[in-house]
Structure formats: C-alpha cells, structure tokens
C-alpha cells in the first residue's frame, strides 16, 4: 500500500494554503483601503473608551459616588500586543513563506515562518487578553453597562485589528496578471 504523492512538502507541519485569489484589477487597492479603514476604526473604538473614561462623571442622581472603574494601562496592553503582531506579520516578505527556496539560503524560509508564527501569536494573544480583561475586570464586578462598555470596546478593537491584518494579507497576496502597457 502506498500513499498518493502529496502536492506539498510532507515534512511541513503547518500549511498556509495561500488561496489563489484572482480578483479584478482594483481589488488590491480596495482591500488596502479597507484594511486602513478597519485599522483606524479599531484604534478609535478603544480611544473612544479611553476618552470617555477620562471624562466620566458620577451619575446625576447620586453625585457623591465616583465612577467605580477607569481605563488603566492594563486596558492598553492587548491593543499594543495586536499592533506589534500586525507589524511583525506585515514586515515579512510573502514570497519567503511560500517556501520556494530556489534562491537565498534555506534557513531564511524557516526564520520567516518562525517570525510569522510569533506575529500571529501576538495577535491571538491580544485578542485573548482583551476577552479575559473584559471578563475579569468588567463582567465579574457587575458594573453598570456604562462601564462594561470599556471592555467591549477593547474586544472590538482587537477583533477589528485582526480583521484588518487579514484583509491586508489577502489584498497583498492577490496575483495580478503580469500585463504590459506599451504606450506607443
């Protein structure tokens, strides 16, 4: 009994399938604009919570009770992790990861995959950290909805950062047909 010959390197554990997107001419541009918009939206969602926390005032019917919770440095950490992960992912040359080690030293492919892994680990860590922050800091203490909003904003910041990274990745691995424009 023999296994059929696989189309990939069987020594590899992780396969990144690189779907061959063959989209229209402007899809790449639209994808990059969309990624930038998502990036800004993510950061403004969190900054909204931070500014809201800085301007928080006690409820009008009980003016002597101060706001029970504020956005502290802990809330910034998941976003910073996601940002670092996005930066690392986007600094990697996409052709290196595909493993066409025809040129250069073969160690470069391995190193590129390692850094890609670290980048994705940072992003996933940021997302998980924001969810655990939401649960541990806001939901467990039964704050009113006005204050749990800080935690939800944090989670949506990290989700949007991850979406932005995914959109950017897909947009940049679109294969455009190599056509010449000979203007005579």
Partner 1 sequence: MAAGLKTVILLSFVLAVGFLLIILSCALWANWLPLLVALTFVLAPLPNALFAHCGGDEFSAHESTAAVDLGRFITATIVVTGFALPVVLTHSEVIKPAACVMSIIGGGLVYSTIMAYTAAFRQDYSEFD
Binding-site ranges for partner 1 (CB under 8 A): 28-29, 32-37, 39-41, 44, 47-48, 51-52, 54-55, 168, 172, 176, 178-183
Residue 54 Cβ vs partner 1, minimum distance, rounded to whole Å: 7
Nearer to partner 1, 11 or 55 (CB): 55
Angle between the N-to-C axes of helices 107-133 and 145-172, in degrees from 0 to 180, rounded to the nearest 10: 160
Q: How far apart are CA 92 and CA 103, in angstroms?
A: 17
Nearer to partner 1, 32 or 124 (CB): 32
Q: Quote the DSSP letter at residue 125.
A: H
Q: Which of 150, 149, 145, 133 is nearest to 59 (CA)?
A: 145
Take residue 123 and report the two structure tokens written for it.
Answer: 């992003």
Q: How far apart are CA 142 and CA 162, in angstroms?
A: 28
Residue 164 Cβ vs partner 1, minimum distance, rounded to whole Å: 9
Residue 128 Cβ vs partner 1, minimum distance, rounded to whole Å: 25
Take residue 163 and report the two structure tokens written for it.
Answer: 């979406």
Residue 8 Cβ vs partner 1, minimum distance, rounded to whole Å: 27
Take residue 26 and report the two structure tokens written for it.
Answer: 């402007």
Residue 121 Cβ vs partner 1, minimum distance, rounded to whole Å: 23
Q: How far apart are CA 128 and CA 123, in angstroms?
A: 9
97-121 per-residue burial string, b: 16 or more CB within 10 A, e: under 16: bebeeeeeeeeebeebbebbeebee
Nearer to partner 1, 39 or 138 (CB): 39
Nearer to partner 1, 8 or 180 (CB): 180
Nearer to partner 1, 123 or 167 (CB): 167
């Amino acid at each position: 009994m023999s296994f059929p010959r696989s189309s990939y390197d069987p020594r590899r554990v992780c396969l990144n399938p690189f779907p061959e997107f063959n989209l229209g001419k402007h899809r790449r541009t639209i994808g990059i604009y969309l990624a930038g918009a998502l990036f800004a939206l993510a950061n403004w969602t969190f900054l909204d919570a931070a500014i809201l926390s800085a301007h928080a005032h006690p409820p009008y019917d009980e003016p002597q009770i101060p706001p029970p919770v504020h956005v502290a440095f802990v809330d910034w950490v998941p976003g910073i992790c996601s940002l670092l992960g996005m930066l690392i992912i986007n600094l990697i040359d996409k052709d290196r990861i595909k493993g066409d080690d025809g040129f250069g030293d073969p160690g470069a492919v391995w190193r590129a995959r390692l850094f890609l892994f670290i980048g994705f680990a940072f992003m996933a860590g940021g997302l998980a950290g924001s969810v655990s922050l939401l649960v541990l800091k806001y939901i467990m203490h039964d704050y009113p909805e006005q204050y749990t909003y800080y935690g939800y904003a944090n989670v949506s910041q990290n989700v949007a950062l991850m979406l932005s990274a995914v959109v950017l990745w897909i947009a940049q691995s679109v294969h455009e047909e190599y056509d010449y424009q000979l203007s005579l």
